[in-house]
Amino acid sequence: MESGSIRAVQPGTMTEPHRRSVVLMFPGTGAQHPQMAAGLYGHEAVFTDAVDSVLARLGADGEAARADWLAERPVVPMEADSRSAPLLFAVDYAMGRLVESWGVRPAAYLGHSMGEFAAAVLAGVFRLDDAVRLLWERVRRQRTTPAGGMLAVAAAREELTGYLGSGVVVGAVNAPRHTVLSGPAGPLEAVARGLTADGRTFRRLATRTPYHSPALAPLVAETEALVRELPLAPPRTPLYSAYTTRPLGAREATSAAFWAGQPTAPVLFWPTLERVLADGDRLLVEAGPAQSLAVIARGHRAVRSGRSAVVATLPPRALGPEEDRRTVGAARELLCRQAGVAVGHSGRLPVELPAS
């Protein structure tokens, strides 16, 4: 069997094996929520060690972030960059490590916004030390930019041109009728009023920062100088970029300008997902909180037809520690069943995927 693939059963049949290559997907800003995946902390050793390895690199700031993550009443809310950025990155990274610890070897990675950064660490582009350093520098420097936010609108990109301007831009294209607008607080609030008056459906994302908009442009030059100091490497496993809509080549992956410019560039998740699914039959495994990417991917024609499939590893929202563990256990068993093997007593997925 080729590396990164598992044999699955096609819908409607029990005898015909169907080979799908595994793609790990990592969600970004807006997926974070209080106590996301907290039920796995101290229960799943690989997950716990990975989270600790991220937060330990932030010293006292990491300790404070962990305390708020596990608390029923956090001191600093999850919408604050000092919580959302390190904790979302830590959970994405830890979930990727956990899934891979079951024996699953992905054929590719796909991240959304912050998720692409976590994917880049797993793909070997960044060392973890360097990624955490860059992450925290961005958080620190974002404090100097004007407050803002993001609105997820149930509309196509083309329908929203009349709402753009005064710093409000399209920050993400997540699906044919799922577009995210981003911008400074005042102009974005005016847009929200206009959307309401026009009867459009939207929701505010849990962030106070206008990611993927020109508001963060003043940070690019300083960030690029920092990234130039880091030893970047080409990805060991294909890494689809939601900024370019294709797998990163060695030149892009090691470009300081590419990584520094991401906070100001739109996330083109749906066009990238189209490319991922056009490149083969896939098992899309969302390794992160909220199931936002899984919900989007299930609407794609390749998944609706049964050619590709989707697995979420965590609940759609915080439902308590038992639900975190149940959802992870169900994902592990599903991956195991599609691979045609049984879950061992250790609870790990004994999927043996020989190298190509």
The answer as to whether 347 is a domain residue is: no
Q: Of the candidates 239, 311, 246, 237, which has an alpha carbon nearest to the alpha carbon of residue 274?
A: 246
Please tell me whether residues 119 and 189 are part of one structural domain.
no
Distance CA 294, CA 41 (A): 23
Angle, CA 3 vertex, CA 37 and CA 51 arms, to 5°: 20
The answer as to whether 228 is a domain residue is: yes
Please tell me whether residues 173 and 280 are part of one structural domain.
no
User: How distant, in Å, are the alpha carbons of 86, 294, 322 from that of 315?
Assistant: 20, 11, 10
Evaluate whether 119 touches 111 at the Cβ level (below 8 Å). Answer: yes
Please tell me whether residues 196 and 227 are part of one structural domain.
no
- Mean pLDDT, rounded, for 145-149: 91
Number of domains in the chain: 2
Distance CA 193, CA 46 (A): 45
pTM, two decimal places? 0.90
Q: What is the pLDDT of residues 218-271, one digit of tens each?
A: 999 999 999 999 999 999 999 999 999 999 999 999 999 999 999 999 999 999
The CATH number of whichever domain residue 179 belongs to comes to 3.30.70.250
Give residue 19's pLDDT: 75
Instruction: Mean pLDDT check: name the lowest of 108-122, 190-204, 331-345.
Output: 331-345
Give residue 38's pLDDT: 97
The answer as to whether 37 is a domain residue is: yes
pLDDT category of residue 144 using cuts at 50, 70 and 90: confident
Q: Which amino acid is at 57?
A: R
The answer as to whether 354 is a domain residue is: no
Answer with the one of 164, 183, 204 that is the final residue of a domain.
204
The answer as to whether 26 is a domain residue is: yes
Evaluate whether 120 touches 126 at the Cβ level (below 8 Å). Answer: yes
Please tell me whether residues 152 and 138 are part of one structural domain.
no
The answer as to whether 353 is a domain residue is: no
Buried/exposed code over 264-302 (b: 16+ C-beta within 10 A; e: otherwise): bbbbbbbebbebbbebbbbbbbbbbbbbbbbbbbeebeb
Residue with tokens 């299930």: 298
Give 329-345 as a DSSP string: HHHHHHHHHHHT-PPPT
Please tell me whether residues 94 and 39 are part of one structural domain.
yes
- Mean pLDDT, rounded, for 266-281: 97
Distance CA 102, CA 108 (A): 16
Average pLDDT of the chain, as a whole number? 90
Q: Which two tokens stand for residue 108?
A: 């590719």
Q: Which two tokens stand for residue 164?
A: 């753009």
Please tell me whether residues 156 and 226 are part of one structural domain.
no
Q: What is the pLDDT of residues 89-131, one digit of tens each?
A: 999 999 999 999 988 889 999 999 999 999 999 999 999 999 9
Our CA dihedral for 130, 136, 137, 141, rounded to 10 degrees, sits at 160
Please tell me whether residues 127 and 266 are part of one structural domain.
yes
Pairing relation of β-strands 239-241 and 202-204?
A: unpaired
Q: Is the pLDDT of residue 279 over 80?
A: yes
Answer with the one of 204, 222, 243 that is the final residue of a domain.
204
Q: How do the residues of the chain divide into helix, strand and coil, expressed in percent and rounded to 5? A: 45, 15, 40
The answer as to whether 344 is a domain residue is: no
Q: Of the candidates 134, 143, 140, 141, which has an alpha carbon nearest to the alpha carbon of residue 114?
A: 134
Q: Residue 198 sits in which domain range? A: 148-204
